[in-house]
Amino acid sequence: MCGCFVSTLDEFSSGRSRGGGGGMADRQEQKLKDAEKWLKKADKLTKLSFTRWAADWSEATPLYEQAGLVYKTAKLFEKGKHCFEKAAIGQERLSSQWTAAKHLETAGGLAKELEAWPEVADLYKRASEMYMFCGKPQPAADALVRGAKAIEDSVPDDAIRMYLDSCSFLEDDGREQMAFDTYRAATNLYIKQQRYADAASMLLRWGQAADKCKAIQSQCKAYVSAILVYLYNQDLKAAEQCHNDCSQVDAFLNSEQNQLAEKVLQAYRDSDGDEVMYVIKSSKTLPHLDHMIVRLAKQLPVGGLKPVIGPSNDDLDENDLT
């Protein structure tokens, strides 16, 4: 693969023919030298100076691209990122936003290796803007999701924001079905951050999106997951409310997931921890939910079974009627 890179770049280099010369290291070095050359040349072409009144982007952009590729394969991330950014600017000037966005995404990927998180976020956001400019919300959303995934471990807030933006892009476009994965990722991130209320609200949003595209199974799963998250959050009232709301939907009302929800809520109302555990364990539909939710559900009664209104976290006191 390096060989064919080299052969395609040959036409730009000035008459070099290092065929079966040294080993891989030599070739690598040679390529790096070439990349340096191209980079310098491109910089010269684009830097405005006394003799040059207008930057020649059409020449410079391919050079930047090639240099960037070489750096990427050689794992020199900083330089590669720099090259790709410049290449993206070039493409923008050449009014080809699509390619520019692609380069920005690559640059973002390299920045992720460098762990320069703000830059990563910034690059991906720019990329997504370019995609939107081209009139393609789908790739824009995808770019945001990728960016969010890149930074979710380190800067979760930004990641969340990116996820939400991505979801709104798709919702506006009417293509919610593509957003399911995004919802799932956002929910998982919330749960990891232990922001359960937000997670539940995200799940409800997911359910709404599923309703719009008639994905009944996903919808029911989302609703039941929301109820379970509320319960895990020890918020029985909210869970009940949620259940009431969701029961308005016919599809959910008649589903297996609803049965599970009802059983669990009933057990909670009876304040019977064992019953809750039994219901969770013997349920057929629970294992098919998202694995994070399943993990929460398995801990459910242990997560603090309270009587209907009561703040105690201990095991249940059946005589407590407050």
Partner 1 sequence: MSVIDILTRVDALCKKYDKYDLDKQKGDLTNTNGDQFLKLYTVIEADIQAALEKSNEALGEKNRAVAVTLNAEVRRQKAALQKELPKLQRLAVKKVKGLSKEELEARPDLVLGLAQRVEEIPDGTALSRRPANGGWAGGPRNEIRIDVMSPDDTLRPEHYAETEESKGFRSEYEYRRDKQDQGLDHIADGLATLKNMAGDINEELDRQVPLIDEIDTKVDQASSDLRSTNKRLKEVVTQMRSSRNFCIDIILLAICLGIAAYLYKYVTSRSEATSGVEKDAGMQVKASSAAGTRKMCIPHILNLSVEVVGKAMAELIRSDLYQTFGRRRFTSKSKCRTGSWNVPKSGTHFKLASTSECEYTEHGLQKNVGSGSASFVYDKAGSSAFLMDHLEHGICIPHSTFRLLRW
Residue 283 C-beta: closest distance to partner 1, Å: 9
Residue 214 is a binding residue for partner 1 (CB under 8 A): yes
Residue 279 C-beta: closest distance to partner 1, Å: 15
Structure tokens at 94: 């050449």
**Taking contact as CB under 8 A, which single stretch among the options 37-45, 232-240, 260-268, 279-287 is the one that binds partner 1?**
279-287
Residue 285 is a binding residue for partner 1 (CB under 8 A): yes
| The binder of partner 1 chosen from 16, 40, 237, 288 (CB under 8 A) | 288
Task: Map the footprint of partner 1 across residues 83-102, applying CB under 8 A.
Answer: none
The three-state (H, E, C) secondary structure of the chain, written as one string: CHHHHHHHHCCCCCCCCCCCCCCHHHHHHHHHHHHHHHHHHHHHHHCCCCCCCCCCHHHHHHHHHHHHHHHHHCCCHHHHHHHHHHHHHHHHHCCCHHHHHHHHHHHHHHHHHHCCHHHHHHHHHHHHHHHHHCCCHHHHHHHHHHHHHHHCCCCHHHHHHHHHHHHHHHHHHCCHHHHHHHHHHHHHHHHHCCCHHHHHHHHHHHHHHHHHCCCHHHHHHHHHHHHHHHHHCCCHHHHHHHHHHHHCCHHHHCCHHHHHHHHHHHHHHCCCHHHHHHHHHHCCCHHHCCHHHHHHHHCCHHHCCCCCCCCCCCCCCCCCCC
**Taking contact as CB under 8 A, which single stretch among the options 12-20, 69-77, 97-105, 213-221 is the one that binds partner 1?**
213-221
> C-alpha dihedral over 218, 219, 224, 227, to 10 degrees?
130
Residue 218 is a binding residue for partner 1 (CB under 8 A): yes
Residue 30 is a binding residue for partner 1 (CB under 8 A): no
Residue 291 is a binding residue for partner 1 (CB under 8 A): no
| The binder of partner 1 chosen from 9, 178, 202, 236 (CB under 8 A) | 178
| The binder of partner 1 chosen from 8, 58, 217, 266 (CB under 8 A) | 217
Residue 138 C-beta: closest distance to partner 1, Å: 9
Q: Residue written as tokens 């201990």? A: 314
Residue 177 C-beta: closest distance to partner 1, Å: 4
For Cα atoms 221, 223, 229, give the angle at the middle one, nearest 5 degrees.
100
Q: Which is nearer to partner 1, 238 or 249 (CB)?
A: 249
**Taking contact as CB under 8 A, which single stretch among the options 25-33, 66-74, 88-96, 209-217 is the one that binds partner 1?**
209-217
| The binder of partner 1 chosen from 116, 213, 251, 277 (CB under 8 A) | 213
**Taking contact as CB under 8 A, which single stretch among the options 84-92, 174-182, 245-253, 293-301 is the one that binds partner 1?**
174-182
Q: Which is nearer to partner 1, 101 or 289 (CB)?
A: 289
Residue 212 is a binding residue for partner 1 (CB under 8 A): no
Which residues of the shown chain bind partner 1 in the complex (CB under 8 A)? Answer: 175, 177-178, 213-218, 256, 284-285, 287-288
